[in-house]
Amino acid sequence: MSLKRIASSQLLSKSHFGFRTTAVRLPATSLPSPQQQHQRSYSSINCNTQYNICFVRHGQSTWNRDNRFIGWTDTPLTEDGVLEARVAGQMLQSSGMLFDEAHTSLLRRCIRTTNLVLMEMGQEYIPVNKHWRLNERSYGDLVGLNKKEVVKKFGVEQVKRWRRSYDEPPPPMRDNHDHHPQFDPRYRLMLDEIPRSEALKCTRARSKIYWDDVIAPSLRSGKTLLIVGHENNLRSLIMRLEGIKPEDIINLSLPRAVPLAYRLDINLKPLARPDGKLDEATGMLNGTWLGGDDAVQEILERDHKQVYDTSVQQNLEEGSDRDKWRRWTEMAIGEPEDESFEAHSRSHVHRNLNNRSNGVRPTSELNGQVK
């Protein structure tokens, strides 16, 4: 199991919150300009590494597990998803990065991943900003359908274009669709802006507004940011950051809960990795995968089979390998020593989310920063 390989890099030494990971420690190479150093000394608590921004996709949700199209549907994390988020936090704790603020969507699979990551890092105190412009792309009328069944009906190439191409959206969502966001109270003041379906081009247009109005000014002030998002809204941000061409973005996929850290120059363009090469997992990125390129590549290969390989009958998100990985990760993370963390774990980590039906929890947007 690919995530087991990431977990297998865990240290056996104790940290404040239990066992900590030996994720990639980010080197302090290619020092920033004197202006950036001056900004960092006053604006950021991240003085031990030169990394400016880190992207993390949320942990496994119930519909990830069930291989269903999700979009704006507010599916919760599974217990495996909680573990994935905690391992991501352990990797970040071991990397030496510290964040000044975090940004995420209005969907609870991202919000909870953010909280768990920051708990593992001991950084619950930083501001966490939530906004609908960081929501997952709308999958239109595909929402709720099993991905592999859709592949069987429409073919691999069509589904890949719907999922990964730049400008081909899925069929629009019917107004009476069971999972239409118009029925969700958190969007009651923006009904006219709810998309019926989105291509990545549409998702990029709305995430660009958030980047320009919120993320970029924070980065320019010298702050270090954590962005916890969904695969496609992160793809849209990374596409812009890396300058990936529309015809090439179809080849970029992102794993769940593996931090991707970037060093940026004064113009907010990516600096090369310390080895001077693009990542081996995707062959497209200047960022550093804290779980290692090999492990990320293995995850992406599994995810591809889960969706497109109709000869694979079993659900690769479940089964004996997943159970082994879960037990090993629970043992590796260990029981937390901090009492407040332990109380939170008892109420969140160890309950069965899959058998729990939660009501919608409205969450506030940034006050006046982005419309």
Cα 170 to Cα 261: distance, rounded to the nearest angstrom:
31
The percent of residues in the chain predicted with pLDDT above 90, rounded, is: 71
At 37 the pLDDT is: 47
**What is the enclosing helix (H) or strand (E) of 128?**
strand 128-130
Q: Looking at the predicted structure, is the pLDDT value of residue 347 above 50?
A: no
Q: Which of 136, 198, 242, 298 is catalytic?
A: 136
Strand partners, 225: 53, 101
Identity of the amino acid at 57:
R
Nearest C-alpha neighbor of 289 from the set 118, 133, 124, 95: 95
Q: Report phi then psi at 124, rounded to 5.
A: -65, -15
At 44 the pLDDT is: 83
Q: Looking at the predicted structure, is the pLDDT value of residue 120 above 60?
A: yes
Nearest C-alpha neighbor of 42 from the set 217, 163, 221, 268: 221
Q: Residue 339: which residues within 8 A CB-CB, separation 6 or more?
A: none
Give the dihedral of Cα atoms 101, 271, 236, 62; nearest 10 deg. Answer: -60
pLDDT (mean) for 87-100? 95
Q: Looking at the predicted structure, is the pLDDT value of residue 359 above 60?
A: no
* Tokens encoding 41: 């000394």
pLDDT digits (tens, 9 = 90+) for 234-265: 999 999 999 999 999 999 999 999 999 999 99
Does residue 335 have an active-site annotation? Answer: no
SS3 call for 96: coil
Give me the chain's average pLDDT, please.
83
At 333 the pLDDT is: 56
pLDDT digits (tens, 9 = 90+) for 129-157: 999 999 999 999 999 999 999 999 999 99
Nearest C-alpha neighbor of 75 from the set 364, 362, 323, 360: 360
The percent of residues in the chain predicted with pLDDT above 70, rounded, is: 74
Does residue 103 have an active-site annotation? Answer: no
Q: Which of 58, 103, 131, 230 is catalytic?
A: 58
Strands 260-262 and 128-130, by their bridges, are unpaired
Q: Looking at the predicted structure, is the pLDDT value of residue 353 above 70?
A: no
CA of residue 254 relative to chain centroid, distance: 8
pLDDT digits (tens, 9 = 90+) for 16-48: 223 334 456 565 444 444 445 445 555 688 877
At 79 the pLDDT is: 95
At 5 the pLDDT is: 47
At 343 the pLDDT is: 33
Q: What is the pTM of this model?
A: 0.81
At 48 the pLDDT is: 73
